[in-house]
Amino acid sequence: MKIVKLKEISNQHEKEILSDKAVPSSAGIRKKYEKRLENDYRQAFAVDVDRILHSLAYTRYIDKTQVFYFAGNDHITHRVLHVQLVSKISRTIGRFIGLNEDLLEAIALGHDIGHPPFGHEGETFLSELCRKDNAGHFYHNVQSVRFLDRVERKGEGCNLCLQTLDGILCHDGEIHNQRLEPGKGRTFESLYNDIAKKLRGGRESLIPMTLEGCVVRMADTVSYIGRDIEDAIRLGLIMRSDLPKESVELLGDTNGTIVYTLVTDIIKKSYQQPFLSFSPEISEALKLLKRFNYSNIYLNPKIKKYSKSIKRLYEHLFEKYLADLSTKNLSSAIFTGFLENMSSEYVETSTDVEIVRDFIAGMTDRYFLNQCPESMRPEFVW
């Protein structure tokens, strides 16, 4: 048997087992034609998974903050674990409602690749600096697409499928939706138009083009809501008894029960439907729990202790690298650690501010700190 025949067998198998609401791998759309993929036995979205897993940006997940930075505890969630949890939860839901698990995995593994050092605070600081220098707003979902589409492979990009990039762009798990139904009419042109609108400060919620994208968006919330509670308890920020009773009664009070309850509810309400949904009562319980997390965890003064220090470090590095580009300081890390061997297309089509943004956004927490003067670096909080 010719090895390429395996892809035909796999595509036929999908027709037999996937829901008619799923995206078949044969429908994957790439921006650039690649002749070598014609003889590849892997299906389209499986190729995307491999390209994301083997990207340099994926490797850097290992030392990026999820919520708690400077926490001297090895059991606190980092972003690499978060994306693995999103992938697992997404594939569990997808398996039971008949969706494409390769597409689910690709979106889930790539969805946070654009997150800068120090989590959402870092995102806020970097956005302020980008706006100040007329480079538009910074959003990690937009940056995730940029890394995979424009920056990886020395500026050549990974040439991922439209459906994968769309799911990554539209993954926002912080927006609460009881029900999500895929949008229609997405093209590469509309994808880039939506990115341009976001950079200009557009606030409209982007709807994924696939049911798989909708699953990852909901799974993002499912994966972090209980996990952040467990981390906060472990660090002494809250006690389990603090959780809102109305939520506990329906969702439970541990990460395991919360995840299981939410996943089960999604499967029950979404099976054989053209949309993804929570039941109204579970949706309200989840919304209440999210409000609790924001008030008692994400805005807790203890984890904000070094916010001003981190902001100063962002300002320091941003200004330093802009100056290094302006003076062509070839010994600077932005040349030796980022621009070296970068494609001419990337360099010629990116402004200095965009290059600095890409470099800083891709840093791990540790690398970011090591680029700063030792006298400016904060100590551990816990």
Q: How many CA atoms lie within 13 A of 369 on its CB side?
A: 17
Taking CB atoms within 8 Å and a gap of at least 24, the contacts of 22-28 are 22/98, 22/99, 22/100, 22/211, 22/212, 23/99, 23/100, 23/103, 23/163, 23/210, 23/211, 23/212, 24/100, 25/100, 25/102, 25/103, 27/163, 28/161, 28/162, 28/163, 28/164
pLDDT score of 156? 95
The neighbouring-strand residues paired with 276 are 180
| Cα–Cα distance measured from residue 114 to residue 142, given in angstroms and rounded to the nearest whole number | 7
Residue 67: count other Cβ atoms within 10 Å of its Cβ: 23
* Interval 308-345: pLDDT, tens: 999 999 999 999 999 999 999 999 999 999 999 999 99
pLDDT at 382 over 60: no
Mapping DSSP onto H, E and C, the string for 244-307 reads CHHHHHHHCCCHHHHHHHHHHHHHHHHCCCCCEECCHHHHHHHHHHHHHHHHHHHCCHHHHCCH
Q: Please write the tens of the pLDDT for every residue from 137-192.
A: 999 999 999 999 999 999 999 999 999 999 999 997 567 889 999 998 899 999 99
Which residue is listed with tokens 């979205």? Answer: 45
Q: What are phi and psi of 100, to 5 degrees?
A: -80, 110
CA atoms within 13 A on the CB side of 159: 12
pLDDT computed for residue 374 by the predictor:
86
Find all residues with CB under 8 Å of 132, minimum gap 6, and list them: none
Q: How confident is the model at residue 1 (pLDDT cuts 50, 70, 90)?
A: low
Cβ pair 129, 354 in contact under 8 A: no
pLDDT of residue 381: 47
Quick one: average pLDDT of 367-375?
91
Any idea how long the chain is?
A: 382
